[in-house]
Amino acid sequence: MSGLALEELSAIAAIYCGQEECEVLRVSETEGISFRIQTSVEGPLGTDVLLKLLFHLPSSYPSSLPNISVDSEQLTRTQCIAVRGRLLEEAKRHFSQPMVHELILWIQQNLKHVIEQAETSVCCQKSTLSTCTAEDVAVWTILLHLDHMRAKGKYVKTVEKWCLDLNLTGRLMFMGKMILILLQGERKNIKEYLILHKTSKVDVDSSGKKCKEKMISVLSETKVQAEHRRFQEFQVKEYLTLDELQNEFKVAGLAELFSEFVLDRLK
């Protein structure tokens, strides 16, 4: 059993030390650690939601991801499944590091949004036959160009959050002064991303005031073809040479996209 897992359990127990907040269910050299956390989180309309989070840390943790179960009397089964899914997604971002406390803090901050998104998804599924076209749910690739980022740290985190929320994968690419965003996902989610990017105050102007993005360009928007490799996650990457940047496109089967839309901007 990982010493990191035992240390983390000790820290979690110290933090969640109220009555029934933390219950250790099993500590085993071979089967790992299981414990339940109960925490009150603000839900939709300002209501309090009592979340019961069951974590199982395998003996190989944190080199292996934890298993997570979610239960709450205030949430529907669909909502609990959505919360579990988002927690597992977030866990991948902390792979190989102790992560339980980070996951608890994340859901405390994002539960309301996760539930609202789950409800929107259900509504969309119910109306798919009448309102959604095949193109809406098909996987597309979009290439965007940004002129600059003044508040780079905040800007990058915002883009990462949008992509996570909308289940979009791809790359935010920096090379010298060039900034590109290459995204893949359902077309309806890409459309929603564009709306967010054009209407949200994501950067700051020359005086330091928050401002909307006015210098974003859509270079290409195409349906993913069989020869294209699907990105498995969204990553922020910086490239030192043109060859490195070009290879990113080649590996994804998007060499023509690079030649047609990127090379001219580097001349």
Q: Which of the residue ranges 42-56, 85-99, 129-143 has the most confident prediction, judged by mean pLDDT?
A: 85-99
Q: What is the pLDDT of residues 212-266, one digit of tens each?
A: 888 899 999 988 876 667 788 899 999 999 999 999 999 888 999 999 999 877 7
Q: What is the pLDDT of residues 24-37, one digit of tens each?
A: 999 998 889 999 99
This prediction has a pTM of 0.52
Per the model's pLDDT, the better-predicted residue between 230 and 108 turns out to be 108
The structural domains of the chain, with segments of one domain joined by +, span 3-127, 136-266
Dihedral (C-alpha) 68, 73, 77, 78: value to the nearest 10 degrees?
Answer: -90
Mean pLDDT of the chain: 86
Q: Given pLDDT bands bounded at 50, 70 and 90, which one contains residue 160? A: very high
Does domain 136-266 sit in CATH 1.10.10.10?
no
Instruction: Return the CATH number of 3-127, one of 3.90.1150.10, 2.60.110.10, 3.10.110.10, 1.10.3210.10.
Output: 3.10.110.10
